[in-house]
């Protein structure tokens, strides 16, 4: 299978599976416990039908919109995800450059393998930094200061990761960051020599936004669950989130909200946006899918805060359904990660080309010329 054989996100997933050692593939593809929530995040879209209206004059359409004060060429954000250097040697740089080429927002994780400073100077496209609240307050403060200096457009505080989800595929494979080559894992790496050579011979793996403060950045192999459970602060509250928003002073988003009451609290602490998200099903299995939760959240706080539907998106029509249900924008992780793993920047660009095409075709077939024309009148739940 080659890159030109990829015609949708599922094809990129197959190609990524072919190219990656299985512990790495399972880290991307896997989720918590029985992975029910991960599956529901996507299948929720299947229970809702689009209602096209015809003869609408769709010769010129414009899928762009404003999100968090910046123009985005599509109603789609590339969500922040960890450890991209492990998936492909081009890592975050590839995603940043592809996002810039397509005029999109993208995010880098606290666990990014490229520094805040480098990403800040590499691309001018709007970018968010995803913050985890560490027990080490000095680390939190230093990350916020670095984001200010590097002119990031938004800080996105992830609030659904108070402890690690139980990611059983990672427990079975022993996946660590950086990957540890043990006798039992060696075979999985040896049978993917192209990945292994790129990993060993290219730039060394690092977590440059953490390495001045915690062992997770020193090159010592730790499981992601250990990082979450030992480094992150489980005592954080709404007051912590509000203090971080004040210290940052710029656009502020909370990521990992699925309850209407929490959405209201987000408005009360002055957040500019929420990502309705369950971390791609990687945290609390059995928790509500973003698309299922969306309508009650839109009814509670729509118009008072920007609402981003994050997770499960694999098709342009999923984006259109999220907008119809009242989201201001959609976002996703695996939709570009499979492509990054499959073919680096060229892969991400091909995935974005396909998604752009699906969004534009979908808008034309729906009979709308702007994203704002999509509303609940154009959807029916079965």
Binding site for ligand FMN (CB under 6 A): 27-28, 41, 79-82, 109, 111, 130, 158, 255, 277, 279-280, 310-313, 332-335, 337
Residue 45 CB, shortest distance to ligand FMN, in Å, is 11
Distance CA 20, CA 188 (A): 9
Residue 77 CB, shortest distance to ligand FMN, in Å, is 10
Across 182-207, b (16+ Cβ under 10 Å) vs e yields: eeebeebbeebeebbebbeeeeebbb
Residue 22 CB, shortest distance to ligand FMN, in Å, is 14
List, in sequence order, the alpha helices (H) in the chain.
9-19, 22-29, 36-43, 84-87, 91-102, 116-122, 137-149, 168-173, 183-190, 193-201, 224-231, 238-248, 260-268, 290-301, 316-324, 334-366
- The residue number whose beta carbon is nearest to ligand FMN equals 333
Q: Which of 88, 134, 279, 318 is catalytic?
A: 279
Residue 82 CB, shortest distance to ligand FMN, in Å, is 3
Q: How would you write 34-45 as a 3-class SS string?
A: CCHHHHHHHHHH
Taking the least distance from each CB to ligand FMN, the nearer of 174 and 367 is 174
Matching residue, tokens 């494979």: 173
Taking the least distance from each CB to ligand FMN, the nearer of 266 and 337 is 337
Taking the least distance from each CB to ligand FMN, the nearer of 109 and 125 is 109
The pair phi, psi for residue 110, each rounded to 5°, is -55, -30
* Residue 134 a catalytic site member: no
The DSSP letter of residue 202 is S
Residue 51 CB, shortest distance to ligand FMN, in Å, is 25
Taking the least distance from each CB to ligand FMN, the nearer of 84 and 345 is 84
Taking the least distance from each CB to ligand FMN, the nearer of 175 and 189 is 175
Distance CA 30, CA 165 (A): 11
Tell me which residues are annotated as active site: 279
């Amino acid at each position: 299978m080659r890159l030109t054989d990829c015609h949708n996100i599922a094809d990129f997933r197959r190609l990524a599976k072919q190219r990656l050692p299985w512990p790495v593939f399972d880290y991307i593809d896997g989720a918590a416990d029985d992975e029910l929530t991960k599956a529901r995040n996507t299948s929720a879209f299947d229970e809702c039908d689009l209602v096209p209206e015809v003869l609408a004059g769709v010769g010129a359409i414009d899928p762009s919109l404003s999100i968090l004060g910046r123009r985005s060429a599509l109603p789609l954000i590339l969500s922040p995800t960890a450890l991209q250097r492990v998936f492909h040697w081009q890592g975050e740089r590839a995603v940043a450059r592809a996002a810039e080429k397509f005029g999109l927002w993208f995010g880098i994780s606290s666990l990014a393998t490229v520094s805040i400073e480098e990403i800040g100077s590499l691309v001018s496209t709007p970018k968010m930094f995803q913050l985890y609240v560490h027990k080490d307050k000095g680390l939190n403060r230093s990350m916020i200061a670095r984001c200010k200096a590097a002119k990031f457009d938004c800080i996105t505080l992830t609030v659904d990761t108070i402890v690690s989800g139980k990611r059983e595929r990672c427990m079975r494979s022993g996946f660590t960051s950086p990957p540890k080559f043990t006798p039992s894992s060696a075979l999985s790496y040896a049978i993917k020599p192209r990945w292994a050579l790129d990993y060993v011979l290219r730039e060394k793996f690092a977590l440059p936004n953490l390495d001045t403060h915690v062992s997770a950045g020193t090159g010592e192999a730790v499981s992601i669950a250990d990082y979450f459970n030992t480094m992150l602060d489980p005592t954080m509250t709404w007051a912590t989130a509000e203090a971080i928003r004040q210290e940052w002073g710029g656009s502020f988003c909370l990521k990992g909200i699925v309850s209407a009451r929490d959405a209201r609290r987000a408005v009360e602490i002055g957040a500019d946006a929420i990502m309705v998200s369950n971390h791609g099903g990687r945290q609390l299995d059995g928790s509500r899918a973003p698309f299922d939760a969306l309508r009650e959240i839109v009814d509670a706080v729509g118009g008072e805060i920007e609402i981003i539907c994050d997770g499960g998106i694999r098709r342009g029509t999923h984006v259109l359904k999220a907008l119809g249900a009242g989201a201001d924008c959609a976002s996703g992780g695996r939709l570009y990660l499979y492509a990054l793993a499959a073919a680096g920047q060229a892969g991400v660009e091909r995935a974005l080309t396909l998604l752009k095409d699906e969004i534009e075709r979908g808008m034309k077939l729906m009979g709308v010329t702007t994203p704002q024309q999509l509303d609940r009148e154009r959807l029916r739940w079965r």
